[in-house]
Structure 1
Amino acid sequence: MKKSKLIQGMVMLVVAISFGACTKDEIKPQLEDGKSTIVKDLPGDVGNTVGGAKPFEIFYFSLKTSNKVDKSKLLTADWDIAFAKEYNSYVSVNNGTNDQSYGFGGPGKAAMVVVNQAYDAVKTAPSDDEFEKNGVSAVGWDPGNGNGWYFYELNTHIAVPVKNRTYVLKTADGQYAKLQLISMYKGAPATVSDLNWPAPYFTFRYYVQQDGSRNLSTKD
């Protein structure tokens, strides 16, 4: 086996172990701000595992309706983000012109940029030029590129969301929004300890600016 394949296999094993672990700590109350939509314990392909008989089933989510969207509407603007790959942790936007998007070939206009600020501190969407130059089509595990929404610690094999990292989006229909991905474990625990804890169950919050402006302030 080539060295690169061996390393890749080891990485996948560590990720698989890390996804199964967490404690019963509750979601932090400061998520509530009176403006953002908070999604708690949205189930992914629960029960599947890395290296199983079938890949994780992709699911699609609408920021407008706060609901999953059936895969029959893949090439429409009815969904904004997709959850794919291992433990559905790979979050991709719906862009019909990007061949890296699951919505490639459809009418979706979604885009995403990484902002290394706390969610509450992000008050304005960047320029269209910023989306064009520094946009990313998807985010998942952060191997050190500064884009991913979670990383794992080699010493403890724990998956940990990256602090103070927010994603500013254009939705599939072109509105500005911001997104904080918080947890992939049921109950959104603050600390990882139990290897048998159920996953993937996603907790995240987001805010869509409905008036067409770049104003993303969620704190008065």
Structure 2
Amino acid sequence: MKYRNRTYLRMFFYTMMLSIGFAACSKSETKDLKEDGTSTVIYDLPGDTTASLGDDTNGKEQRPFYTILFSFKTQQVRWVKTAADSASYLKNLDWDIAFSKEYNSYVVVNNGAIAGTPGYGGPGLGKILIIEKPYDQVLEAPSGDQFENQGIAGVGWDSGNGYGWFFYSLDNHICVPIKNRTFVLKTATGKYAKLELLNVYKGNPPVVTDLFWPAPYFTFRYFVQEDGSRDLKTQ
């Protein structure tokens, strides 16, 4: 399975990010709390906010976006900026998901067998299945055969194919996370987990109408079944 090599968002996200550094963060920022006592909730994980794809960078660097690695177990974050970073961080089991590509909007698992992904050549066993149910209603992971036959490497912009975690409007250039879509994963070590990607905007606002709201800042929650079973109940 090839890693999706899309160039989506190149022009569209650029418009969104031109003046992002000037946005005020006090505009009725509210967090949609997702604490259930079992899941881990991460608020405002910063993406690579210093990069830009366009010529008019407003103080940012015009360069590819650094890949950001995240461990479900430790919540450790590592940035891959150099070849030395790649050699040290990518081909091991210390991370489960990476925020990659334009504006870190493509979320990819750690899998050593999928060519083109950050973990390719390493020991990672990650795969993703998309479940069209609310997070709390996903009670059990699909079978291992389903992961083997239908599992994908990552999710990003849903342009109508049903494979993403957010919609993107060509009219207002706002990203809208898809509600009631849950991602069931195999982690880097092969354990079952579920993931809900909640927001790309700082403060996890319930609705964004401001083109210049600070982004990317990722809010998400997840649960890993440590006993190796497929049980994903969190309530």
Supply the AA of the counterpart residue of 1:17: T
SS at match of 1:95: coil
Output the CA distance in 2 between the equivalents of 1:148 and 1:212.
27
CA distance in 2, matches of 1:209, 1:135: 18
Contact 2:200 2:216 in 1 (8 A): yes
Q: Aligned equivalents of 2:147 and 2:132: distance in 1?
A: 15
Q: Which aligned pairs between 1:81-92 and structure 2 lie closer than 5 A?
A: 81-92=97-108
Match of 1:105 in 2: 121
The SS at the match of 2:14 is helix
Deviation at 1:18, TM superposition (A): 4.3
More displaced stretch, 42-51 vs 178-187: 42-51
2:174–2:211 CA contact under 8 A, matched in 1: no
Residue 154 of structure 2 corresponds to residue 151 of structure 1: no
Q: 2:91, 2:119 within 8 Å by CA — same for their partners in 1?
A: yes
Of stretches 191-200 and 35-44 in structure 1, the one that deviates more from structure 2 is 191-200
**TM-score when normalising by structure 2:** 0.83
Q: Partner amino acid for 1:184?
A: V
Q: Identical aligned pairs, as a percentage?
A: 52
CA contact (8 A) 2:172 2:211 kept: no
In the other structure, the counterpart of 1:61 is: 70
Are the equivalent residues in 1 in contact too, given 2:65–2:101 (CA < 8 A)? yes
With normalisation by structure 1, the TM-score equals 0.89
Report the counterpart of residue 49 of structure 1 in structure 2: 52
Instruction: Tell which deviates more after alignment, 17-26 or 142-151.
Output: 17-26
Consecutive unaligned residues in structure 2, runs of 5 or more: 1-6, 56-61, 80-84
From 4, 10, 17, the equivalent of 2:15 is 17
Query: Aligned AA for 1:16?
Result: Y
Residue 218 (structure 1) aligned with residue 234 (structure 2): yes
Q: 1:27 aligns to what? A: 31
The corresponding residue for 1:3 is: none
Q: Is contact 1:50–1:87 with CA below 8 Å preserved after alignment? A: no
Does the 8 A contact of 2:14 with 2:53 survive in 1? yes
Distance 1:175 1:197 in 2: 36
Shift of 1:84: 0.6
Q: Name the structure 1 match of 2:3.
A: none
The answer for the alignment partner of 1:163 in structure 2 is 179
For 2:225 and 2:119, locate their aligned partners in 1 and report how far apart those are by CA, in whole Å.
22
| Mapped pair 1:123 → 2:139 | yes
Give the number of equivalent residue pairs: 210
Contact kept, 8 Å, 2:16 with 2:212, in 1: the verdict is no
Letter in 1 for 2:112: G
Q: Distance in 2 between matches of 1:128 and 1:78?
A: 22
RMSD: 1.9
Structure 1 residue 191 displacement after superposition: 1.2
SS in 2 for 1:133: helix
- Aligned residue in 1 for 2:92: 76
Any unmatched runs of 5+ in structure 1? 1-7
Deviates more, 1:50-59 or 1:171-180: 50-59
> CA offset at residue 92 of structure 1?
0.5
Q: Secondary structure of the residue that 1:12 maps to in structure 2?
A: coil
Q: Quote the Cα distance in structure 2 between the aligned partners of 1:195 and 1:153.
A: 11
